[in-house]
A and B are shown apart, each in its own frame.
Chain A
Amino acid sequence: MNFLDLIWLIPLVPLFGAAVMLFFGRRLSKAAISIICPGAVGVSLLLSIAAVIQLAGLKEKIHQVTLFPWLPLMKVDMAYLLDPLSSVMILVVTGIGFLIHVYSVGYMGHEGGYYRFFGYLNLFVFFMLTLVLANSYPLLFVGWEGVGLCSYLLIGFYFNRKSAGDAGKKAFIVNRIGDAGFILGMFFLYQLTDSLKFTDVNEALRSARFGVEHSFGLLSLTALLLFVGATGKSAQIPLYVWLPDAMEGPTPVSALIHAATMVTAGVYMVARSNALFQLTPETSFIIAGVGAATSIFAASIALVQTDIKKVLAYSTVSQLGYMFVAAGVGAYWVAVFHLFTHAFFKALLFLGAGSVIHAMSGEQDMNLMGGLKNKIPITFRTMFIASLAIAGIPGLAGFFSKDEIIWQTHASPLGSNFFTVVGLITAAMTAFYMWRLMFLTFYGEGRMDEKTRHHLHESPKTMTVPLMVLAAGSVLVGWLGTPKIFGLPEFFRGFEGWLEPVFEPVKALASEGAEQPEHAFEWFMMGVSVVIAIGGIYVAKYMYTKLRRDQRPSGGMLYPVLLNKWYVDEVYDLIFIRGLSLGGGGLFAKFDREVVDGGVNGTAWTTRFVSTVSMWWDTWIVDGLVNLSAFTVRALSFPVRFLQTGLLQSYALAFVIGLLAIFGYYWVR
């Protein structure tokens, strides 16, 4: 059987699951739902594995399946593309997606709206697979918007909590800003290359028509606009603000959407467009800069958070920053490699946190935990492995990918020592905050109240088995990308080789600088990062097991700054929302209530600003005109009895003004 021609089934099976939930979900029993929805993703997983195995057997590792003509104007068909890059992505999405579906069977067992949850989740998997299997930018965008929509629905799943609804709205709206950039970028790309199909665009960009753009020009602008889209979806500065709030959603959602898959869509898109980014060193530098800034900034916030999910959320933002650093310095395969390993250990951490919260009867504050080590041993052991992996302990997945990124910031021609230093500091912070989480949660004395303590229990098998599988992954998958200097057989460096056809250097670059081997220095750097990781863990251990609470260093002035996330939400709030209303008095107070609430972002600000203006326009100009014409009528004729007439006249007056404006235009031109 030729599974390569069946790749369109991979996204379609979960869509079918979602449709069943929509139409029959209400009538189906929980048992049936628990089979249908995880089963649909499981079928996709099997189809994906089969297709990827057959892909590996092809000489030219690319296969496209056209379903039907779609946008004749742009010469784009509804077609799916399987190549090494999308094969990595579908395996992550279906594999981890399947585990998380299984986990959700246990986790969501006691919640209402069971069918609704699984329907959304399956729909999400459909859109995510469409995103990564698309063969063109427009189809990718369909998936891109679709996952955003599902994320919005799932964040707001607990819709009776106002904060959940707000968080969903914030995510949707911040992403719309990014999307505007993406669409514009797409249009520019079409103007430049006359196509939006990945194969055609890349071919055009790799041809002699385009050269490397050393100063900021049209190519760089296009690349930058696409990257703006990526900052929205992948939560980078300045559009990262939605991701921490998105933790309002159920924990499996955080694991699937906000750690392993959707948030990596931006990284995927940049990797997919590598031919463009290779030509634009200026934009690439911006990407690496934004990535580095985001990674250290988010890591610093994670140092002091007390909500277990918030720590992981900021950690995700920080790790995504690493991926963009890698993409920015031109090491695209490393970015995808880190995406791959991160999906395992971060999904595991989130699911583990879910298991902890489950055991703690819903409590998320780490200050009220402690001593859970023996109460929930499987959760503890699996999270222990994941925390070692993310901290970068040799032999585990995170070590290989993170170390490669730090090395590339030094070795790549686009790199800079500045990024290296930032990467190392962030690594130290990562080790510290992750182990702070571990020590606060699992070690020491329990700080929970009696009722919760009495209730502590390990989670059911449906939850712990996925944890164990992911833990195995967190140990093993890194070995697919060991550094060259290890001198291991080809298999252990298979990841880079597998992706090679996708990240072929553009012609203009191919001749430039062959890498100088610096074996000794690479060993040295590796040593430094291992020391840093162990140091971070040790400091956390010392602070959170040896010292009593009042003995711990407070961090002085910095502590409140970090605790309040550098006051970014407040600053956005101040600049974009309050700033305008100062001195406005009652008029603006009314507005604060009326216009969409709580948004702390540019759009909200623009909205408020312009609707303030339009309200001002209404009160002064429109009403003014009414009054003016009423006044005219009053002055010229009988006292006005019918306000209606005044209103109509003012409308008619607007007509005349409009006509005069047109005439005036013809007059002056």
Chain B
Amino acid sequence: MPGNYMPSAAELFRFSPELLLTAAGTLLMIFEAITSPKQKRSLPVFAFLSLLAALALAVAASSDPGPAFNRMLQVDGFATFFRVLVMAIGAVTILISTNYLKQAEHEGGEFYSLVLFSVVGQCLMATANELIMIFIGIEVSSIATYVLAGYLRDDKRNNEAALKYFLLGSFATAFLLYGVAWIYGTTGTTNLSGVRGVLLDPQNAPNAILISVALGLVLVGLLFKVSAVPFQSWAPDVYQGAPAPVTAFMATGPKAAAFAAFLRITMWAFEPVKNHWIPVLWFTAIATMIVGNFAALRQSNVKRLLAYSSIAHAGYVLVALTAASKTGTEAAMFYMVSYAAMNLGAFAVIAHVARKGERRVEIDDFAGLGNRQPLTAAIFTVFLLSLIGVPLTGGFFAKFYVFKAALDSQLIALTIVGLLNSAVAAFYYLRLIVIMYMQPAPEGVDTLPEPSLGIRTALVACSLATVVLGVFPSLVLDIAGRGASFIR
């Protein structure tokens, strides 16, 4: 890169959402220092609005797709899809968090700026066309998330979660970075299109063993980020320990961004050597679905239960990746959207029911919710049905397209295992529904306050999204299809 490189206006415009969010995040930190406690109430509003503005910019930027910063970034339909998704996730996270932080007496601007920074990192992961950029994106996103996981400093569980996440995350990133180094050593480039070019070139095809080692290391890093077996062990501990809104965020945003990077690396850069990674993903997908679902059966803590469930869902997305086709990519993209909607919603309910200090996160604490707050319970039921995969919810079509993609690629065994798994999964989600509606609330429980405005907005938005995805899946699927055509 020449020393006097100046980005053009078009490039800056393509990068403007990230610029806006970075500026907003920085401003928030400053506001935090200079505003009175009363004015601080408007900080989350500011963060929320800047996310919406960035989202609008991202949509606007998609009208002029193209590379930016010497082809380090690639703003195309695929990037826009995931950028919009992670920003929407960030916005919903803020809606869920405000009341939670108020209860915890830990309101502060830095929470929101950390969310914004993390979203910036995720946007980078979605846009990057360069292994180094992916690494930087992962780090930006992760470091902010580590801090978020330990946000309530006085809470032992938060501290433990943050430390575990940090140590294991660094460990995994080290693998990734080492893999990047190997790739550079073998192919002479870290640009994804460059790597693809080298792999496609029959004249100087790189050594297969070297490529395998590099690929293996990169896969470990990515599989950690999406919490696939056997790199999943951090997820339950961290999801359980972190504050509920942060768990909602961790389970959806970074995961979506990681799958975006995953898809770009496997389906674009390493697509020429796909028979190297398909078998690995095949096995991982099966193991992830089985471990996630069967471990979830035994959980009594709802956060931990959803943590295992999110592992299982990562397994279904891996099935779509294993299909290694355009339909598979589309299915994975659709899955991430409906997964985000139903999980954010479910965690919002948990954050609401958990109350101050998260004392109510056992399954039994949901007993009688159907009578006490019928609407909350009904909305929670929508999310749970979607997680089961009942038709007319987004979760159904997500699974439907994944298995269709798998069958199109002749992955019959994988499909059967997946279908059986989704039958098993019905058990533990159903258990929650049964407890909510068919068991009376225990005696002498403190009253459950009405959900706050933020939670209500989040619940309505997520349940609407879940149902709309189930009734008009083509709305999102068409966009995913156009996005997927940019990679494969």
Contact = CB atoms under 8 A, between A and B. Distances in A.
Contacts of A190: 404
Interface in A53-104: 68-74
Nearest to B426: A176
Interface stretch (A261-269, A517-525, A540-548, A603-611): A603-611
A610 B297 CA distance: 10
Contacts of B378: 22
A128 to B, nearest CB: 14
Contacts of B434: 156, 165, 169
A646 interface: no
B112 interface: no
B427 A596 contact: yes
A168 B425 CA distance: 17
A659 interface: yes
A638 interface: no
Interface in A565-619: 594-596, 603, 606-607, 610-611, 613-615
Interface in B279-294: 279-280, 290-291, 294
B461 to A, nearest CB: 19
Interface string A630-669: 0000000000000010001011101101110111011001
Contact of B279 (A22, A169, A648, A665): A665
Contacts of A536: none
Interface stretch (B4-12, B114-122, B124-132, B167-175): B167-175
A30 to B, nearest CB: 19
A655 B438 contact: no
Nearest to A610: B294
B220 A73 contact: no
A666 B209 contact: yes
Contacts of A159: 437-438
B143 interface: no
Q: Which of A160, A165, A176, A652 has the most CB of B within 10 A?
A: A176
Given A177-B423, A595-B297, A603-B424, A655 B171 contact: yes
Given A142-B391, A648-B164, A665 B424 contact: no
Contacts of A606: 420, 424
A69 B475 CA distance: 10
Interface string A472-498: 000000000000000000000000000
B474 A183 contact: no
Given A72-B477, A644-B160, A659-B220, A611 B430 contact: no
Given A149-B390, A662-B220, A665-B280, A611 B298 contact: yes
Interface string B426-459: 1100110010011010000000000000000000
Contact of B474 (A70, A165, A169, A611): A70
B184 interface: no
A228 to B, nearest CB: 12
B219 interface: yes
Contacts of A658: 220, 223, 229-231
Nearest to B435: A165
Contacts of B415: 184, 187
A554 interface: no
B416 interface: yes
Interface string A189-220: 01100000000000000000000000000000
A648 B234 CA distance: 8
Contacts of B427: 173, 596, 603, 607
B57 interface: no
Contacts of A281: none
A404 B400 CA distance: 41
A666 B277 CA distance: 10
A252 interface: no
Contacts of A655: 168, 171-172, 175, 220, 224, 230-231
A386 B168 CA distance: 70
Interface string B451-488: 00000000000000000000011100110000000000
Interface stretch (B15-23, B134-142, B210-218): B210-218
Contacts of A607: 294, 297, 424, 427
B296 to A, nearest CB: 10
B430 A169 contact: yes
Contact of A73 (B392, B404, B440): B404
Contacts of A596: 297, 427, 431
B351 to A, nearest CB: 25
A657 B430 CA distance: 35
A648 B167 contact: yes
Nearest to B300: A594
Nearest to A654: B230
A172 B385 CA distance: 12
A156 B397 CA distance: 27
B473 to A, nearest CB: 7
B213 A663 contact: yes
A532 to B, nearest CB: 42
B419 A180 contact: yes
A179 to B, nearest CB: 8
Contacts of A74: 404
Given A72-B478, A655-B171, A655-B172, A165 B404 contact: no
B295 interface: yes
Interface string B378-405: 1000000100001110000100110110
17 contacts: A68-B472, A70-B473, A73-B401, A145-B391, A169-B430, A594-B298, A596-B297, A607-B297, A610-B290, A614-B294, A622-B233, A650-B233, A651-B168, A654-B230, A655-B224, A655-B231, A661-B230
Interface of B: 160, 163-164, 167-168, 171-172, 175, 209, 212-213, 216-217, 219-220, 223-224, 229-231, 233-234, 276, 279-280, 290-291, 294-295, 297-298, 327, 378, 385, 390-392, 397, 400-401, 403-404, 407, 415-416, 419-420, 423-424, 426-427, 430-431, 434, 437-438, 440, 472-474, 477-478
Interface of A: 22, 68-74, 138, 141-142, 145-146, 149, 156, 159-160, 165, 169, 172-173, 176-177, 179-180, 183-184, 187, 190-191, 594-596, 603, 606-607, 610-611, 613-615, 622, 644, 648, 650-652, 654-655, 657-659, 661-663, 665-666, 669
Given A187-B415, A614-B298, 6 more contacts: A68-B472, A183-B419, A650-B233, A659-B175, A659-B217, A662-B216
